[in-house]
């Protein structure tokens, strides 16, 4: 009986801590949407109605808060990408849907994207953190997820595992680099970028003619 009561108390405390953590992440997102990459721990603590030491107690430092937000958004993005790739359409349409899903996500919340991919040092002298240390795992996870989808759905040669991982990480790298450039410069509508990237994946570079008078590509 005593053990059961202790377990219930422990479960209740764990549930309360998880709820409090979700509330703090929601407060952090509101500040990030307002301030972008310059979102500070001071501003997030103020938004949550707590002191900065309490915020540190939950996340350790800004890197810990960053990782928690990255997991939250990566989970949502992975679910959306899988949904797009599971649509009952032909392969080209599913690929275009997945590309559009990624680009629509960063377009809808550019401040969150910039916070995750281009964090700035906080005002007031607090040291920033290494983007490569934190952003790279996020991109690697997307690459592995896409590799799994490719391996599950595409009939490849005996090196299918290796090829699926190369393709998965290559496609994510392409989406990230092209999306980052597009979000900054907006050189074309989103649907045009989706089509151009899908054309590249469908071999348009291999079948395009070389320009006359040049050495070729």
pLDDT, tens only, 120-161: 544 444 444 555 566 778 889 889 988 998 888 887 777 778
Instruction: Report CA torsion sign: 39, 40, 46, 51.
Output: positive
Q: Cα 111 vs. chain centroid, distance in angstroms? A: 13
Is the distance from CB of 48 to CB of 55 less than 8 angstroms? yes
User: In the chain, which residue ranges form alpha helices assigned H by DSSP?
Assistant: 2-35, 41-48, 52-59, 62-85, 91-108, 110-117, 131-153, 160-185, 190-201, 204-207
Of residues 125 and 13, the one with the higher pLDDT is 13
Query: What is the per-residue pLDDT for 191?
Result: 97
pLDDT tier, 3 (very low <50, low <70, confident <90, very high otherwise): low
Residues in the chain: 217
pLDDT, tens only, 169-201: 999 999 999 999 999 999 999 999 999 999 999
Query: What is the per-residue pLDDT for 183?
Result: 95
| Per-residue burial over 65-82, b = 16 or more CB atoms within 10 Å of its CB, e = otherwise | bbbbbbebbbeebbebbe
> ∠ CA(121), CA(125), CA(126), 5° rounding?
60
Please enumerate in sequence order all residues whose Cβ is within 8 A of that of 62, keeping only pairs 6 or more positions apart, or say none. 41, 119, 122, 126, 128, 129
* Extents of the domains making up the chain: 62-206
Q: What is the CATH number of domain 62-206?
A: 1.10.357.10
Model confidence, pTM: 0.79
- 124 burial (CB, 10 Å; 0-12 / 13-18 / 19+) is exposed
Measured CA to CA, the distance from residue 45 to residue 29 in angstroms comes to 12
Is the distance from CB of 207 to CB of 192 less than 8 angstroms? no
Measured CA to CA, the distance from residue 111 to residue 181 in angstroms comes to 15
HEC sequence for 75-108? HHHHHHHHHHHCCCCCHHHHHHHHHHHHHHHHHH
């Amino acid at each position: 009986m005593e053990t059961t009561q202790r377990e219930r108390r422990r479960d209740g405390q764990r549930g309360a801590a998880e709820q409090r953590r979700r509330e703090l992440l929601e407060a952090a997102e509101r500040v990030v949407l307002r301030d972008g990459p310059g979102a500070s721990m001071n501003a997030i603590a103020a938004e949550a109605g707590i002191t900065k030491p309490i915020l540190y107690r939950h996340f350790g430092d800004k890197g810990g808060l960053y990782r928690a937000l990255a997991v939250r958004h990566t989970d949502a993005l992975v679910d959306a990408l899988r949904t797009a790739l599971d649509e009952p359409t032909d392969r080209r349409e599913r690929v275009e849907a997945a590309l559009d899903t990624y680009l629509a996500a960063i377009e809808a919340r550019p401040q969150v994207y910039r916070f995750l991919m281009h964090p700035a040092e906080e005002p007031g002298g607090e040291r920033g953190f290494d983007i490569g240390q934190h952003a790279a795992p996020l991109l690697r996870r997307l690459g592995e997820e896409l590799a799994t989808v490719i391996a599950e759905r595409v009939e490849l040669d005996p090196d299918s595992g290796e090829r699926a991982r190369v393709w998965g990480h290559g496609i994510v790298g392409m989406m990230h680099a092209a999306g980052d450039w597009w979000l900054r410069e907006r050189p074309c509508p989103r649907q045009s970028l989706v089509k151009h990237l899908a054309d590249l994946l469908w071999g348009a570079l291999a079948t395009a003619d070389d320009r006359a008078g040049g050495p070729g590509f």
